[in-house]
Homo-oligomer: A and B are copies of this chain.
Amino acid sequence: MKNQKTKVGIIGATGYAGIELVRLLLAHPNVEINAVSSVSFKGRAISDIYPALHSIYDVKLGDEDSVIEQSDVVFAALPHGLSEPIAKKCVRLNKLFIDLGADFRLDSQDTYKEWYEKNFDEPELHKQSIYSIPELHRDRIKDAKIIANPGCYTTCIPLGLAPLIKSGRAKLDTIIIDAKSGTSGAGRGLTQTTHFPELNEGFCAYKVASHRHIPEIEQTISQIAGEEVKVTFVPHLIPINRGILATMYINTDCKDENELYDMYCEFYKNDRFIRIMPLGQTVNVKNSKLSNYCDISLHFDKRTGRAIIISAIDNMVKGASGQAIQNMNIALGFDEGAGLDAIPPSF
């Protein structure tokens, strides 16, 4: 019955992660969207801003407080620095808060300050927040009040590295991550870089070895390794809409691809959203597009003794809104894949 559905709300619904939450949650069997907000477009119909929703979801955008009030689960998809006061209200009102921004992702205030040039305003809140890539941290979030949902690179990369690092067979100071992202990762805001005639038919790196996702990646894999790991990380921009692909290089004492393949299949044997590609195949971002899958292919350079691991996700689904829903599903005891069963189109 409709009135048994969980009431959810979205703060920042007109950003790309926000509108993707709308699209996915509208099709979720266990929830209903009760309220959406936007600072930029308050008072306008959401389908005015995104005509793809015309006749499907024409509700008016409200404000942050009305979303919190009307929802049992509050998602925020905002630039960093805005989530702590929202989290505070949600905790006080006993609402589950799921943050797609960066504010609760880093455990260490020092690290946060180093990369985001800002202190924690509410250090106490951070103790109640749980960072979760479900395949790695599923057990943590059963009773979470605040869930820090990882970003796109920081999901794709640790999922690709975790089994090899966990195995103890990686040389930890040799990790190099060459990542490539579709353009929706840059968000809805206008920049010269994402102006069509300048981005189209181009390809470039950006924030070379200085991207803010570095400490988040290192935090996750250091926990797995049981020691501090540093990585070299270079992101690039692909002239496509969606998708992240990371090519990762690590020295290892594994002997061939088969060892890697067995290791990864075993590690992820209970994870429906991880697809280890058959040996000989190479992942392509298009094959996980619009789905919650993380595809991983395993390669080995015998000539140099390096494992080459390639993983790909849809940056807006598994890399943002889909994973946030997956986290919600676990926290609320729904089926982990509820609302996330979209089959990626082949073209």
Alpha-carbon separation in the docked complex, A174 to B203 (Å): 25
Contact A200 B202 (CB under 8 A): no
Are A240's CB and B203's CB within 8 A?
yes
CA distance A240 to B236 in the complex (A): 14
* Beta-carbon contacts under 8 Å, A172-226 to B: 173-174, 176, 178, 180, 182-184, 186, 188, 190-192, 194-206, 208-209, 214
Query: Chain A, 301-323, contact with B by CB distance < 8 Å: what is the 0/1 string?
Result: 11110101010000000000000
Complex contact A205–B26 (CB within 8 A):
no
Chain B's nearest CB lies how many Å from the CB of A52? 4
Which positions 222-276 of chain A face chain B at CB distance < 8 Å? 230-232, 234, 236, 238-243, 245, 247, 249, 275
CA gap between A283 and B51 in the complex, in Å? 9
Complex Cα spacing A231 to B342, Å:
40
A4 part of interface (Cβ distance < 8 Å): no
* Among A15-23, A69-77, A103-111, A161-169, the stretch in contact with B: A15-23
Assess whether B52 is in contact with A286, with CB atoms less than 8 Å apart.
Answer: yes
Binds B, one of A53-61, A79-87, A152-160: A53-61
Cβ-neighbour of A245 out of B203, B275, B289, B303 (below 8 A)? B203
Query: Judging by beta carbons under 8 Å apart, are B247 and A204 in contact?
Result: no
The 5 residue pairs across chains A and B that have the minimum distance between CB atoms = A202-B286, A204-B284, A209-B301, A178-B178, A190-B190
Min CB–CB distance A25 → chain B (angstroms) = 10
Contact A208 B304 (CB under 8 A): no
A275 touches B54 (CB 8 A): yes
A344 close to B (CB within 8 Å): yes
- In this assembly, does A333 line the interface, its C-beta being within 8 Å of a C-beta of chain B? no
B residues in contact with A308, CB < 8 Å: 208-209, 232, 234
A196 — which chain B residues lie within 8 A by C-beta?
A: 183, 194-196, 199-200, 239, 241
Give the complex CA separation of A303 and B214 in angstroms: 11
Taken together as a complex, chains A and B put the C-alpha atoms of A135 and B317 apart, in Å, by 33
The complex places the Cα of A275 from the Cα of B176 at a distance, in Å, of 26
Closest to A314 in B: B345
